[in-house]
Structure 1
């Protein structure tokens, strides 16, 4: 079957919605297929001849924005087709988060404004400060001289559970939109392996991303993402282990360096800090026009917030036993509170949607 690429490119990009423009570009890419081996987007794309709105949304969330396809493409500007698939998919991806996460106005606010995220962090710090002084315990050890364990656990349990409920609702709407089927252990296992390896950040021929300026391949973004991801998981495991120690065997904080919470949390904090710094460096160097430029400020603010949480946690551990513990703890907990409360409305939500996209991709490949 002969495909008329010029007929596919007839729609005016300036007049199309984000989904329509992405569909136009996907149809051209599907006819060309030069980038077929680059990442999961292209094999998934070739399974369809036409793309519904759900298909476009699924492919957009499957894309890791490595940008290799842009630098390999013969149809980018100044060619009249004006392909920029990384940007087209990035804009649909952001739009999908804003559409499926409720309330929609908050998603747009935090995705597009670093100032709003900074304001949320300041509000989180102020709220933690107020709670620390108004409800300070009469006795306690370590951090619990600033804020009681009961208050700390209650505040952060509520702040973490509510956003997860909002995200779960958004994922349900996404799953129905992309035509998701019943999830099996095989689907989930495949998706988790892909997510853990971040294999789609290896780009074409496993050389890495073209994320930095021009067309230089590098694994820096993949390594930075892995450092942040595994650092985050270690810090989460540290919190879980501390909770078990506190409630199961009545062993309360502060914990020694060779305790399980510290053996997990300190390396996790170091990985998150170093990975976050590298992601900030890469984002500053990267070409904004190959992503979604409108949300650059919000994305940068989110990476800064995540790095701030990790770095302040390490600083807090280093300040143990000094007068700096109180202000550092309030600052650290305030940043965490801001992170939790804005979780469904920042770039962090991409982790949940991308995992769902990988599960859906595993279904289509196995069915």
Structure 2
């Protein structure tokens, strides 16, 4: 009963915070709409010009359009210490943090992750890893010789496929429910979203991280008014490293079920080559993003948003680190131990996917699609003034 009461208290506090954050978005964007200096910077300002007032749905929509490049903060004549106190990147980062909870399924899980994403991610991963280690120890020794990289001698293939498949399936369902709720709230009722050229434009913006160019292609402002492209580069290494690892798993699945070729696979096989390249990207990218996060100006992003971001970054980094270590020592007595640690972090990622930074990628893609559709329609503000 106490747990339920605590969750209800947290939910009530979150609602009040969201109301305050939405009110601040509305205040700031009214100032920005009057100024228009940053109108060409990014999709946020393009979307802003189509509205005169900004409700909860608009705030969530623009928060997920924002890539937090901070170009507008350093260009703004009304930024702190001006009495207007215009700080759009930080205000939108607070609403973006609220998005993870507002549309989470179930919502209580989103609230839990929102409080301390890094601690939750590490606790889940290490908890699963310790359970797997205990399972191995119950069968004998943790360090076993002579297995010759036979992972399925430790955990049967079908057990791994069902367990991790179920966890990934749950995350996919939770993400689908969350983004469907988001889309229904931010979309105009009765309008089709199947606009092929808009889908292509949104996909291009998402895959190239167009809006991490700072509005001019020179990059973000990370810690001062100097532009840098490193945030875009580290994001690309992270995303495409993840996709290479996903491709590795997909190819290995085809090997196993279609051609009857079981793991372990040779070093120069396609699954191993894809996984190794992806693993390197997922070490360099997250490490770089963490380094930039540590150096980032506190004016640019909400502190609690940082802990959520770092939770996801840490999971990707440790999945890659343990995966490459497992590849290097898969024929040693350390293999069972390394396998348990690696699978623990993979399960931690699967279970937290719908509630952290990965979910933001899905919401951002939906926001970019809405923006691409909007751009292909008449501007209602201009039409109303004629």
Same fold (TM over 0.5): yes
Q: Report the secondary structure of 1:268's partner residue.
A: helix
Q: Which of 183, 194, 197 is equivalent to 1:186?
A: 197
1:26 paired with 2:29, answer: yes
Contact 1:111 1:299 in 2 (8 A): no
5+ residue gaps, structure 1:
1-13
| Residue of structure 2 aligned with 1:295, choices 277, 301, 305 | 305
Question: SS in structure 2 opposite 1:206?
Answer: coil
Deviation at 1:179, TM superposition (A): 1.6
2:202 maps to 1:198: no
| Cα distance in 1 between the residues matched to 2:109 and 2:129 | 20
- Write the deviation string for residues 300-333 of structure 1: whole angstroms up to 9, x where unpaired: 2221111111111111111121112111110000
d(CA) in 1 for partners of 2:148 and 2:227? 53
- The corresponding residue for 1:4 is none
In 2, distance between residues paired with 1:200 and 1:232? Answer: 21
Q: C-alpha separation between the residues in 1 aligned to 2:281 and 2:274?
A: 11
Distance 2:102 2:18 in 1: 21
- Answer yes or no: is 1:169 the counterpart of 2:173: no
Secondary structure, in 3 states, of the residue corresponding to 2:216? helix
Q: 2:125 aligns with which of 121, 127, 132?
A: 121
CA contact (8 A) 2:242 2:278 kept: yes
Moved over 6 A (4+): none
Unaligned runs of 5+ in 2: 1-16, 141-146, 378-386
Of residues 150, 160, 170, the one that matches 1:152 is 160
Residue number in structure 2 paired with 1:3: none
Q: CA offsets per residue over residues 256-280 of structure 1, 9 Å max, x none?
A: 1221101211101101110111001
Instruction: Pick closer, same or farther for the CA change 1:195–1:85 going to 2, 3 Å.
Output: same
Residue from 53, 56, 59 that aligns with 1:56: 59
Partners of 1:314 and 1:81 in 2: CA distance:
51
Aligned counterpart for 2:268 among listed residues 252, 258, 278: 258
User: 2:93–2:305: 8 Å Cα contact kept in structure 1?
Assistant: no
Map 1:1-367; keep pairs closer than 5 Å.
17-113=20-116, 114-132=118-136, 142-179=150-187, 181-184=191-194, 185-211=196-222, 213-367=223-377
Q: d(CA) in 2 for partners of 1:280 and 1:271?
A: 14
Change (3 A) 1:141 1:119: closer
Rounded to whole Å, the distance in 2 between the matches of 1:166 and 1:221 is 29
Aligned pair count reads 351
Superposed displacement of residue 134, structure 1: 6.0
- How many Å separate the matches in 2 of 1:190 and 1:215? 30
Change beyond 3 A, Cα 1:275–1:15: closer
How far apart, in 2, do the equivalents of 1:16 and 1:196 lie? 32
Output the aligned Cα RMSD. 2.0
Q: Partners of 1:154 and 1:273 in 2: how far apart?
A: 28
Task: Name the CA shift for 1:280/1:220 in 2 (closer, same or farther; >3 Å).
Answer: same
- Cα deviations across residues 146-175 of structure 1 (Å, max 9, x unaligned)? 111111111100010001111111111101
